[in-house]
Amino acid sequence: MAIAAAMLVGLGFSPFRASAACLLANTAPGAFGSIGIPVITLAGTTGLPLNALSAAAGKLCAPINALLPVYLLLALGGPGALSGLWIPAMITGGTFALVQFLVSSYLGPQLTDLLASIAAMAAVVVISQVWKPVEYEAHWNLRGGPSDTSAHESQAKVAPSTRPSSRLIFRAWLPYCLLVVCILLWGLKPAQAILNLGTVIIPWPILHNAVLRMPQIVSKPSPYAAIFSLNVLSASGTSCMAAALLSALFAGMSTMKFLRLLGSVAHQLLLPTITFTSVLAAAFLMNYSGSTSTLGLAFAHWRCLPFFQRSPRMVGRLSYRFRYVFERSLWQSAGCNRN
């Protein structure tokens, strides 16, 4: 989301409107993450079948994603923005939703959003070649202030750039193609059987089978297993690392340049990595301490109000306290300070 927000700022959006657009867009599509990590983590923590969870998430998210581009146009440009753009918005959303549904149902979660995004971008390119809006009015206010037609006209007068060569286009798309190929290879059953040979199963000391899950959560009292799977070779991240190495090789990048770039990325992602692992650690702690089950049962037995009345009140109060942290993160990712 931070990368997309930075790109929108470069196109002329204010940091606040760019962050708002990315927050709206990163709703239903974010269920699968970039390579399916949220669904894979859910399957690992609950023990439910991965393919069944992937298919269920795809069926739930696809209808919402089909309408999401239209909703973004309404939110950012108002009703007038739909006058010349509703056709490509509907086609783009429908393409993303269809590919997301098919991939999540028949291939798995790893490539769901990746292939759906590529298909949506391809749909935009095709539409722009065969269809043009009849008329266009300047409904877009990129900076978030009063509408200024002259500003839009000045932004539209941009010198035409030189079309990149086919070689440059191929090299630009090559990392994405290699990423798709590597993830597909890692998802094949024969490849998984070979890669899983290096997986080490570690029953976690002291915690493994030490917690007893009771009825209302399970059908009968049963110990809660705590097994750490050290799947260095078969992990989805390893396929991404292989794609990165192949991309550097085909791009002719020197070893020292690649190592410097790797160190720069590792330094940049240090705090996000600590945050992500801390959230996962808190989730496991809540699972094994019984907090998650207690909260779930409390919500399930809170029947004094209908769900549509009690849910916004309780969830809104709980989430409000964390809003400031997320707002600060958005503004910092956009490169500005909010006073």
Segment 105-137, tens digit of pLDDT: 888 888 888 888 889 989 988 888 887 765 554
Would you put residue 6 in left (φ > 0), alpha (ψ -120 to 50) or beta? alpha
Q: What is the pLDDT of residue 304?
A: 52
Residue range 222-244: mean pLDDT, rounded: 87
Q: What is the pLDDT of residue 160?
A: 52
Residue range 183-205: mean pLDDT, rounded: 86
b/e string for 274-297 if b means 16 or more Cβ within 10 A?
eeeeeeeeeeeeebbebebbeeee
The whole-angstrom separation of Cα 249 and Cα 247 is 5
DSSP string, 59-79: HHHHHHHHHHHHHHHHHHH-G
Identify any residues that bridge with 222 across adjacent strands, giving them in sequence order.
213
The whole-angstrom separation of Cα 35 and Cα 250 is 23
Q: What is the pLDDT of residue 333?
A: 47
Q: What is the pLDDT of residue 301?
A: 67
Chain centre to alpha carbon of residue 135: 34
Quick check: 196 pLDDT over 60?
A: yes
Please, which residues have CB within 8 angstroms of residue 34's CB and are 6 or more apart in sequence?
Answer: 113, 114
The whole-angstrom separation of Cα 224 and Cα 213 is 6
pLDDT band at 157 (very low <50, low <70, confident <90, very high): very low
Tokens representing 299 are: 């919500």
Q: What is the pLDDT of residue 98?
A: 93
pLDDT band at 99 (very low <50, low <70, confident <90, very high): very high
Segment 248-288, tens digit of pLDDT: 998 888 899 999 999 998 898 898 889 888 988 888 888 88
pLDDT band at 51 (very low <50, low <70, confident <90, very high): confident
Q: What is the pLDDT of residue 137?
A: 47
